[in-house]
Amino acid sequence: MLLEFVDHFINNKLYIASFLLSFFVTLLSTPLVKKMAFKVGALDYPNNRKVHQEIMPRLGGLAIYLGFFVSCIVFIPMTKLSVGLILGGIIIVILGIIDDIYNLTPKIKLIGQIIAAITLVFFGFQVQFINLPFDGTWILGWLAIPITILWIVGVTNSVNLIDGLDGLAAGVSAIATTVIMIIAFMMGNDFVLLYCAILLGAILSFLIFNFYPAKIFMGDTGALFLGFNLAALSILGFKQVTVVSFIIPILVLGVPLSDTFFAIIRRILSHKPISSADKNHLHHCLLRMGLSHRASVLVIYGISVMFGLCAILLSQSALWLGIIVLCILALGLQLGAEMIGLINIKEKPMLSLIKKLRYHFGNALRSKPQ
């Protein structure tokens, strides 16, 4: 199936042309945006939470958007859905630009994200039903709108939260976009495939400047824009998935969503506000373990690829296999989070349970008559 996807993509002139246009527009505009960032004061200063030690321009998301926008105007048919995506994207990019320059409060940023999400809903983006096991379907009814808004805002912020190392958010977003493309190909969804090709071209082009050591950060302009688009694409791309459809987009976005989930749990256990910042995200934990900046990013890329492969497998698998994969993945996530201290450095229930079982099993073996 993957080979069929590659063959389909490289032999389709529309996909290749749209990918290349967004790639080269972003490639040419990034140096210009970098100069602009210094002029308007869109700069990221070092502090005790930041990994970088120098003042960095952080308006790079604008270059991603320029490549994306130009290619969309040329290649995307202007339908109700595409107009909604473009208008919502404009709102989120303007919000990001203002935040990168003036540092908006969390409340103002949240209001802006909700407005962008409502724009998508107005143009027809809604999670109207969820496929359940054993051929069941949950029709959401009046819940469709609040659940859609919550999903869009949640994913948008989750990508923003992982933007802590050079190339991290861009690389994870590129992997997620590629996985959505593959599943869209399997589902026969040409619109999502074309849209992803455009988005992927812009992301990969920006990574040339953003991978370690970065010359420019994407800032909230880029992180919010990528999260917003991934949330929208996941709504569009997985309606035909028959095995628990809501699980697939969660797996595609596994790294940012799991990091956000563990951050919420961590702050609740520490009796801190959910919106408070800390240095215990996945990339911080890997750095504390002794991994280099580049190695930490590559490890998280690998985790993201693993999530993506699971999503592709589940989208085509039988229910029983999906349940097994999800159980193994959930146990692995919990165990990995405890091992690196992602939830709480002191409280590690699964590791404690394993230690107790090993202790009792060892005693049982030693007391066994020879």
Q: Which residues contact 92 (CB under 8 A, 6 or more apart)?
A: 112, 113, 116, 156, 224, 225, 228
pLDDT beneath 50, residues of the chain: 240-245
DSSP bridge partners of 138? 130
Q: Distance between CA atoms of 150 and 117, rounded to whole angstroms?
A: 8
* Integer angstrom CA distances of residue 306 from 168, 232, 255: 16, 22, 10
Whether residue 160 is annotated as binding a ligand: the answer is: yes
pLDDT reported for residue 341: 67
pLDDT reported for residue 260: 79
DSSP assigned state of 197 = H
The model's pTM is 0.85
- Three-state SS string over 159-181 comes to HHHCCCCCCHHHHHHHHHHHHHH
The residues spanned by each domain of the chain are 2-239
pLDDT reported for residue 367: 63
Whether residue 220 is annotated as binding a ligand: the answer is: yes
Half-sphere exposure of 46 (CA within 13 A, CB side): 5
- Residue holding tokens 């959505």? 180
pLDDT, tens digit (0-9, with 9 covering 90-100), for 238-289: 654 444 445 667 777 778 888 877 777 777 777 777 767 667 777 778 888 8
